[in-house]
Chain A
Amino acid sequence: MKRRSVLGLLAATATLPLTSFAARADDSLDQLHGQAKKEGAVVMYTSVPTFLLDRWKELFEKQYPGVPVTYFRSGTGKVLARIESERRAHQVGGDVVWMADPTTFAGLVANKALISYQPPEWNKITLAKEPHGFYTAGRVLVGVLLVNKKLLPEPPKSFADLTKPEYKGKIAIASPLVSGSTNIIDGILWKDPAFGWNYFEALKKNDVLVLNDVPDVARSVASGERAAGISLTMYKYQPEFKDSPMEIVFPTEGTVLVPSPLGILAGSPHPAAAKLFYRFLLSPPAQAVLSEAGIYPARGDVLPPAGLPALKDVKSLLPDPEWIIAHQRENTARWRQTFGG
């Protein structure tokens, strides 16, 4: 990762004692389990879809009896608002926090809302690790082109192709105002001088259809409303799309990686259970749940979704969360001007 984490550095210097404490993060899992049982529960705050959470809850409670998992799941904004208001009241209610949007954690680090923790599993993660251990990617959403092979025997191969006249009126995208992952994908394109806002204006001229969210792009492409669109790999793995004429195309400019950050809240009510659950989520069985759902695991040693190449074998683009945060207002306003939204 090439981005320079200014906020991360600032936060790290401010919390030096914590960082050094984190160095001896080699508690054995049995020890943690014993302490976690005494704490009696673990609570996750998250925006990750519930079908994944239910699966992890089931696996975790079987592997570590006596530590029931509860989660507060909501939209990114609501989860952040809850963390913020609980911190202000000195009543942190969550242990582990996992969001879809990589831009959300810089603020948490800056506010010292997270602890630094680098268990052995940490070393197996291949990308998007906060340099001081405050968070890591827990999974990777992968932004790709979805194409309808029935409608387009010659599908687009790149983001740039989508502006070609032959695809006029055939492309669907999601709104970055609604979809967090789209905000990241678009953030990469906005920042890239080869694309920028000219690209989006060209898309608009090409009569692009702007839907609310990424699953709707999948629905649109699979049903033939549009012939191609920008969305995520995971939808191809859902029952209603599995056998549809919709296929995944990795764009030639590079596929967009959207790492979903995972961390432990400072002052959490169940500190040992938090660490245990965190390590579980980064363990091979929990990561394999992701692959089954068509999502890339953050661990390099867990197989990718069936039929898709490993991330190290595809050309990929990583977002620059600081740039996206710094330009959020400007880009939101620009989006509204361009597409109405």
Chain B
Amino acid sequence: MAEGIVRRLLSTFGFIAVAVVTAVIFLFVSIYPYIELLRTSLSDDAGRLTGANWTGAFAAQYLLLTPLLHSMSVGIGTALTATALGALLAWFSVRTDLPGARAVLPFVAIPHIIPGFQLASAWVLIFTRGGLWDTMLLGRAPVPPYGGIAIWLVLTLHLYIFSFMASAGVLSTLDSSLEEAARVAGLRPWRVLARVTLPLMVPAMLSGLLLCFAYAMEEFGAPSLLGAPTGYSTLTTSIYELATTPPLSFGSASVLSIVLGAVAVLVLIGNLRLAARTRIAMISGKASGRGKFALGRWRWPLTAVVWIFLLATSFGPLAALALTSFLDTWGHGYGPGNWTLARHAALISNPELAQAVLNTFGMAVIAAAAATLVGVVTAYGHIRLRARWAAAMDRISFLSFATPGLVIGVALTLAFGGGLINLYGTYAILVIAYIVRFSGIAVRSVSTDLARIGPDLEAAGRIAGLPPARVIARITLPIAREGIVAGFLLAFINCVKEISATSLLVSQGHETLAYEAYLRFQEGNYTQGSAVSLWMIALSLAITALAARRGGKESREILT
């Protein structure tokens, strides 16, 4: 569908016209809001230039430094555990004779596909006193339901797929002759692992580490639900509070946003550099001689541990949400005698929720289609035409994708929440936020596909006398079809799950399902929140599976 829209546009208006309009609009909505953000951070209420917001933020411990410290702790903690966990599981799945190793990926993916705030809610439902762990199983829960440690553990589960993918990528292309050489030289298998395999994995693990750090810092949903009860505020929760709780303080909110955005963007740029270098190192590797590591007598105990972990972390949260969504009355256990379908029926019968279903689909389709257009225009301009403007769009779409959703939300509020272009309280401002946030996905997806295929076919088309728009529509688009479809689906699914920019820009009548679910959890209506979440997760899983199948191997990497 996305491909059809793009093709129709190109053949009607021609490439130049479409590219100019797309580029101008995209660059405007992606750059101008940050100018407003910077300006607000340097202005007082009357709009006069001042440094007071900055000095004030650094002076009041609770305003900037404490949340920053918490965000850094969560980021570093999550990065370390997620990296270790991901690398370990990747090694088990790729390089050992662990039974069922090939089937690991979907179970690693599920806790990532479930949005952070829903994973956090499931965490509370399971581990709080009187929760599922208590009522159904084993007495006192082994982990805290709220607070910094809970945020750290939830985000570790949510994000370790990054390290898993990076490590699995290296391990499956690693030249195993190095390991064989070490073994021939007389090293014991475990020492080969420590001396040869592990050092070779370091760059990939470092890349996973940086990704997990940045995404843990950016996360809003999980800390906002788990942090408040113990007073564990992070940069994201503080920004949200400053921008939504009266008396509103956009001056301070923009200072915190700039700090958070700068950290996240710098770390992700660092990762990009690192990944580029790692890829060069990898090309020399040959995926030959699959000498699988024999686990020996540890094989079955380890199998049990790995699979119990995978099943518990993927089905556990889903089961918690499902049981809660059926719960009729609190305090009478989770048994079938206390079940109702009322919360599921509410998705159709409750006008607010039914509207949210429509909004979610509408906004996600429009935004994903627009993101795909940005992707095609940028990828073609960047890779085929080697145009400067397209290189700029490529970079800016990446930076926007790296920018935390909450920061985009604050910036768009300041840029379009009044004044010259007033989109406050509209459907459009949410769609714009999603386009700004997720075009990078489509750009990357289409670019990967285009770069893989040489320009020969298109050259042939031009020589045959086709005008440029025709060449693109008839040759380029079909070639890059997989990338376009995958880009569309992945942008779509990210729009469906988005809550951080949404929570700041949403207005009455324009709520999305994710936002409705978030609101329900925030106010404590876990039963309705769980029902909404389940349907959202079902949609996400279905579309992610579709994208992974349609988009082939590349998109499986973009999954993350």
Residues in A lying within 8 Å of B, measured CB to CB: 50, 54, 71-78, 80-82, 85, 148, 150, 175, 177-178, 209-220, 222-226, 239-246, 328-329, 333, 336-337, 339-341
Contact = CB atoms under 8 A, between A and B. Distances in A.
B355 to A, nearest CB: 11
Residue from the set B62, B225, B231 with the largest chain A CB neighbour count within 10 Å: B231
Contact of B330 (A54, A78, A219, A329): A219
A323 B479 CA distance: 69
26 contacts: A71-B508, A74-B507, A77-B244, A77-B245, A81-B248, A85-B424, A178-B228, A178-B522, A211-B228, A212-B228, A212-B229, A212-B524, A214-B523, A214-B524, A215-B523, A222-B330, A222-B331, A223-B131, A225-B128, A239-B328, A240-B330, A241-B330, A244-B329, A339-B231, A340-B232, A341-B241
A211 B229 contact: yes
Contact of B352 (A50, A219, A340): A50
A148 B331 contact: yes
A177 B332 CA distance: 31
A223 B244 CA distance: 30
Query: Secondary structure of the B side of the interface?
Result: loop
B351 A54 contact: yes
Given A85-B418, A216-B522, 4 more contacts: A178-B245, A209-B146, A213-B522, A333-B62
Contacts of B507: 74, 78
Interface pairs A-B: 6 shortest CB-CB: A340-B231, A216-B524, A224-B130, A222-B330, A244-B331, A213-B523
Given A212-B228, A225-B129, A225-B131, A240 B523 contact: no
Contacts of A245: 331
B236 interface: no
A275 B126 CA distance: 50
B532 to A, nearest CB: 15
Interface residues of B, number: 41
Contacts, number: 117
Nearest to B506: A74
Interface in B103-150: 128-131, 134, 146
Contacts of B271: none
Interface of B: 62, 66, 128-131, 134, 146, 225, 228-233, 241, 244-248, 327-332, 342, 351-352, 418, 424-425, 507-508, 522-527
Nearest to B125: A223
Contacts of B342: 239
Nearest to A219: B524
A63 to B, nearest CB: 21
A217 B351 contact: no
A244 B333 CA distance: 10
Contacts of A77: 244-246, 248
Given A77-B248, A340-B231, A223 B330 contact: yes
A240 B508 contact: no
Given A77-B248, A217-B524, A329-B247, A210 B231 contact: yes
Nearest to B418: A85
A224 B329 contact: no
B425 A82 contact: yes
A337 B436 CA distance: 36
Given A216-B524, A336-B62, A74 B508 contact: yes
Given A73-B508, A216-B524, A239-B342, A150 B331 contact: yes
Contacts of B229: 209-212
A328 B245 CA distance: 12
Nearest to A341: B231
Given A74-B508, A240-B328, A340-B230, A219 B247 contact: no
A130 B320 CA distance: 48
B130 A225 contact: yes
B329 A218 contact: no
Contact of B245 (A54, A73, A177): A177
B56 to A, nearest CB: 12
B228 A175 contact: yes
Contacts of B527: 240
A329 B352 CA distance: 34
A77 B418 CA distance: 16
